[in-house]
Every structure is written in C-alpha cells, then in structure tokens.
Amino acid sequence: HGYEYWTGAEPPWRNGVDKTPVVDPAVIASEEQHKAEAEADDQLTAGTLAHAEVLRGCGVRVDFLLALTFALNMWEWMTWEVVQYLVKPVTEGEGRCRFAHLPYIRPYTGAATIFMSHCWGARWGDLVAAACAGSDMRRVVWIDVF
C-alpha cells in the first residue's frame, strides 16, 4: 500500500512514492472505504477537546525515538520514507490505526509537551536529534507521523 489522498486534485488518489495518479478502480474503491472508516471514527469527537486530547496522547518519548532510529538505522532516511516504509506498512495489518495506538508502541507514548515541526524531505535523524537536544529522555514529543 502507500497511497495518498490529495484534496482538490484530479484525480485525488496518488501513489505514495512517485506521486503518480492511481487509476486502478479496485485500489480507489478500497482506499475510499478506508478513508470513510477513518473519517467516521473521528466524526463524533472532531473539533472537541476530547479529540484534541486523543491526538495529544499520540506523543512519543524521546528515548523511544532514539531506540527506533538506531534499531532500524533510519538516521539518513527522509521523513516521508519513515511514513512510507515503516508507519504505513506496520499499521496496515492493524486496521490502519495510528502508529502510536499500536499495542507494542503504546508503552512509549503519552501526552506530548513538545510539538515537533519538520519537512517531509528532510532527514529523519535531524528531527530526532532536534527532539533530543537539551532533553530528558522521557520528554514526550508530538510528530505528525505517529
């Protein structure tokens, strides 16, 4: 998998790696179904404090970021590659849940106190290094990939 939905584009479904339009009707139908399910999951709480707290709870600890990055040697990966080659494949088998909601990731998550901004084409290792700078390793940061 690895598809993206580009709001306002025609056609809106794109391949995640090369950004070419998706033309296979079966893939489009499947992606539309997944999109509808995700939107329905968020519909009841979207725009509320409860929803904001769910998202804030998707923060990850800095020690986890370091361990993950070392374990998978992702220092030179681009941030988009982390999503394409780690987050999407791992969550695909779990109903496309948020990465932070995976049972084996949950112990390393919590309410974020720091928001991390990044460029999709920048090195993941630089983002991890920035998260670590001057930090207690238990710091919890929010990165939109999780």
What are the backbone angles phi and psi of residue 92, rounded to the nearest 5°?
A: -55, -45
Q: What is the mean pLDDT of the chain?
A: 92
Contact residues for 122 (Cβ-Cβ < 8 A; gap 6+): 78, 79
How does residue 45 score in pLDDT terms, banded at 50, 70 and 90? confident
Q: How far is it, in rounded angstroms, from Cα 121 to Cα 115?
A: 18
Q: How far is it, in rounded angstroms, from Cα 116 to Cα 112?
A: 10
For residues 7-35, average pLDDT: 92
Helices (H) and strands (E) in the chain, counts: 6, 6
SS (H, E, C) 79-94: HHHHHHHHHHHHHHCC
How does residue 1 score in pLDDT terms, banded at 50, 70 and 90? low
For residues 56-70, average pLDDT: 96
Whether residue 144 has pLDDT greater than 80: yes
Whether residue 51 has pLDDT greater than 90: no
